[in-house]
Amino acid sequence: MSAVGSFIAQRSMDAWPVRRPRARSGAGSGAPAPWLPMTVRVDRVEDESGFRELSTTWDALLEASRAPNLFLSWDWVSLWWATYGRGDRLHLLVARDAYDQVIGIAPLKKRRLSIVGVGLGHVVEFIGAGGDVTPERLDFIVRPGAEGPVASAMIDALYADPTVAGLDLKPLSAASAMRPHLVAALAWHGAHAAAETPYSLCPVLTLPATWEAFEQGRSRNYRKKMGEYQRRCARDFGARVRLTTTPAELERDMAVLIDLHAKRWDGQSRAFRTPEYVQFHHRLAARLLATGRLRLFVLESHDGPLAALYCFVDGGRYYFYQSGRDPGRSRHRPGLVLMHAAIQQAIAEGIEVFDFLSGGEAYKYIWAGEEQGSVHLEHWRTAPARLVAQARPWLRRARHTLIPDLGPAPTHAGGHP
């Protein structure tokens, strides 16, 4: 691996006791569990060739970790960097054990921190933060059982770089096994403790093993109404559900998704508005189709497509990312009919969780019965950096007051399907 910097941390329980976070209110993550002594070497990767060399290791470590998530996959992270990384610097941290095995990867980048043109160093963020696509529940990718020593060694390596002014992690999975260890390690650096605030909530549906069990778990009213919507769509339009299976279908179906999404939102959504967003999802969908992880549903009819649903599948989980529907057919509720069919397909595949991703839109709770969240974890090395970070939300609000926003719809699915 090509690495710009290397930091070696020898962790001994006798020489260096388990770290604990400083006492503070609202920590939310609890004290970290004690960890066994371990020798950890952290390499700092800041060049493209070193990043590419990680591709053979990345997904295997992710699959073995406690943080399986498509938004942490090599396909998503590398494609995000290629599309949106311009102006930032790679700052990946790679942890290795005494046998030179990779036991941790922190998918990070550096961004220049400044105010009125005065530079204050760099802030370190997740690759995936920024741009106009929306990941959820990001994390460090670490071999189970190594979270404590890896977090400690990575934070030490991070702050061994004098240009780093702070760490700004969002959206960090609230359930992250690394989260309490990161907070504990950060307590040893700088004059201020790490701060955590809620960031996002994702409604999720835990799926039963059979379709019969799913239907039995729905209310009588749900079964009645959904049956009516399905019959209307079949009677009036000859509606049928189709999954994208070939590259030729993918090109056509992505165009359908984009068109129906634009019709549904009438210019009020940020999704598919920029060339970068469109390019990112065309390339991502092609990668996912080639590896069997794309689930692009189209509700077709003799009058043309009625609705489209853009989902991913990975690690026993469906991710509902985006959708579109013909607003002229709203009385037939084609979006609900297609979502119902997607859930049926997920159960047939043995999927365990249907993830509606962030946003508290009411329609998601027709199905979702639980929520999984993310937090914003930030830590600033100096008071000026902390003050600039605190001023940023105010500056954003002031800018949005002067320049009206595009509307409420996020860059993944919101509103009504």
Token pair of 237 as six digits: 């339009």
Mean pLDDT of 19-39: 54
Cβ count within 10 A of residue 45: 23
Q: Tell me yes or no: is domain 208-351 CATH 3.40.630.30.
A: yes
pTM here is 0.86
Give me the sheet containing 5-11, strands edge to edge.
Answer: 5-11, 38-45, 92-96, 102-106, 141-142
Kindly tell me if the per-residue pLDDT of 366 is higher than 80: yes
CATH of domain 5-198+374-402: 3.40.630
Evaluate whether 260 touches 400 at the Cβ level (below 8 Å): no
Ranges in the chain annotated CATH 3.40.630.30:
208-351
Confidence (pLDDT) at 405: 43
Confidence (pLDDT) at 14: 28
Mean pLDDT of 103-127: 85
Query: How many helices (DSSP H) and strands (DSSP E) are in the chain?
Result: 11, 16
Per-residue exposure over 77-105, b if at least 16 CB sit within 10 Å of its own CB, e if not: bbbbbebbbeebebbbbbbbbeeeebbbb
Task: Map tokens 């939310």 to a residue.
Answer: 28
Confidence (pLDDT) at 407: 39
Within 8 A by CB and 6+ apart from 36, the residues are 13, 149
Give me the sheet containing 370-380, strands edge to edge.
Answer: 89-90, 108-115, 118-126, 164-173, 370-380, 195-206, 353-355, 317-325, 307-314, 294-300, 240-243
Reported confidence tier of residue 12, pLDDT bands at 50, 70, 90: very low
Q: Which pLDDT tens digit goes with each residue over 177-212?
A: 999 999 999 998 876 789 999 999 999 999 999 999
Confidence (pLDDT) at 403: 46
